[in-house]
Amino acid sequence: MKAPPQEFTEIDRAGIIPLCHELAGRNAQWHIHALHPGCRFNPNPSDYCFVIEDTGAKRAWRCFSSDAFTDECHELVQLLHGATILDDAALDPDFVPPRILLLVRDCVAKDEKWHHHIMKPGCVFSPDPENHVVTLERETSPEMEIYSSGQPPNDLQREVELLYFRQHR
Ligand SMILES: [Zn+2]
Ligand SMILES: [Zn+2]
C-alpha cells in the first residue's frame, strides 16, 4: 500500500467531535474513518485509529486509542450523512443490492468478522479517488472488495452501516 499523499495531524480523542462539528459548520468536504486494529489502512496494528479528512483543504487528522471509536462513529456518521443514514425505514424497497452488500450480508449470517470503509472522492485511502467508494475487508479473504460509483451510494451505505452498528453495539 502506498503512503498517503499527505501528513496526518495527530489530535486528542476529546478533539474529534468538536473538529467534526467545526468542519460540518463551515460546509467543508469532510469525512471520517474508524480503523480497526489489523485494518490495512491502520499503521498501528495494536490500536484503533480514528481519521478525519477535509478533502477540500487536503488536510487529515488522526487519533489512536486502545478502545474502539464506536460512540464517536455513531454520532458522526449521522452528522455527516443525516440521521436517515441509520434509519431502517429509509431503506428503499426497490434497491438492488450490489455484490459487496451480498458479501456483507453473508458475513453477518456466518458471524464472520468484517468491516467496511466509506470513501468519499479525494479520500487518502481510496483505491479510486475520483469516485465514491465502499470497501469490505473480512476474515476469510485477503482481498479487499471494492464498490465504486459516481454518485453517493446512499442505500448501500445505509444498509452496511445498520448491519455494522447492529453487530457492534
Ligand atoms: Zn479496513
Ligand atoms: Zn477517507
Per-residue pLDDT of 134-145, as tens digits, reads 999 998 999 999
Residue 144: nearest ligand to its CA?
1
Query: What are the residue ranges spanned by the domains of the chain?
Result: 8-168
What is the tally of helices (H) and strands (E) in the chain?
A: 4, 7
Cell match 469532510: residue? 30
Helix axis angle, 16-25 relative to 70-81, nearest 10°? 0
4, pLDDT greater than 70: no
CB 11 within 8 A of CB 63: yes
CA of 125 to the centre of ligand 1 (A): 10
Residues 109-149: tens digit of each pLDDT: 999 999 999 999 999 999 999 999 999 999 899 999 999 99
- Rounded to two decimals, what is the model's pTM? 0.85
- CA pair distance 105, 48, nearest whole angstrom: 24
CA of 40 to the centre of ligand 1 (A): 5
CB 74 within 8 A of CB 31: no
Q: Torsion angle, CA of 109/113/118/124, rounded to 10 degrees?
A: -160
Cell match 464517536: residue? 72
